[in-house]
Structure 1
């Protein structure tokens, strides 16, 4: 707080800050055709998730892909097979919080996976020739940009010069400089 009669001084500081943020949860279905007609599903895993994110207008577009691996039995449960299919996707994550002043040439897009692509359910289709896979995923995106912050300068606070004076004025007279003596007295 300024003292009575004292005017406040301000500085504008340019810094990096989160200027936009968004979050999106997605549930999708994929129809995968294994080489052999499946009898039962033994397991389904999603691996090799890769993605990149770019800002496009008021959204962040996340383009990615992952491999769906389905372990299944066939030929009346007498054999097992693994079917792998690479799935590509595009998620548009709307920016909920925006600081328009912070958007510019040097903005950085950060996308974090909150929920890795995960198989919720895998079932054999009614016709019996495909596997229907339910997948969920979730992203949090942030736009980091330059923004301007206005701060108060307190005239009563110590500057670096003031701290230097305090250090120089400290008394070192009480130090025993002979404590490392090599000869016994």
Structure 2
């Protein structure tokens, strides 16, 4: 490399992380179930933030539990909202602390889904899996070498073009 090096300050991704999480949640239903008929998840909303210098994803989703009760001829669906905060481990591209001006972006690789549902006399236990990614963009410096050689394209500046050439 020559001694003709320039520093360019720009925004770039300075850290990334991905997390597959499996969590177990307990729900109290209005009626004791005889059987769990199904469970599905909807309305997943999330955002990323840096709190106390730790990247986090904060989100919510609704859990719909379909179950039979009484004489098994009657069934009900109950909806419960879940709020979560996931601390994210990230790989840093450079050794620096996160700053207030950094931009944090979250992405959902795998939507929350129900892995299992069971019940006992007290409540329903649901195991849910999701996979999230976080990217942190911040100001960083890149170094480039500047060459002072003449380019081949510079030769075309001296050529005169005849505008009547195609007539």
TM range (shorter): 0.7 to 0.9
Separation in 2, partners of 1:76, 1:147: 66
TM-score after normalising by structure 1: 0.79
Separation in 1, partners of 2:27, 2:34: 14
Aligned to 2:143: 150
Separation in 2, partners of 1:78, 1:62: 41
| Residue segments in structure 2 that go unaligned for 5+ positions in a row | none
Q: What is the total number of aligned residue pairs between the two structures? A: 167
Q: Is the 8 A contact 2:53 2:98 kept in 1?
A: no
Q: Secondary structure at the match of 2:71?
A: coil
Higher mean C-alpha deviation, range 56-65 or range 19-28: 56-65
TM-score after normalising by structure 2: 0.87
Q: Is the 8 A contact 1:103 1:146 kept in 2?
A: no
Separation in 1, partners of 2:27, 2:82: 10
- Structure 1 residue 89, shift from structure 2 partner: 1.1
Separation in 2, partners of 1:98, 1:58: 16
Separation in 1, partners of 2:124, 2:150: 69
| Residue segments in structure 1 that go unaligned for 5+ positions in a row | 2-6, 178-185
Does residue 81 of the first structure (1) align with residue 71 of the second (2)?
no
Q: Which has the larger radius of gyration?
A: 1
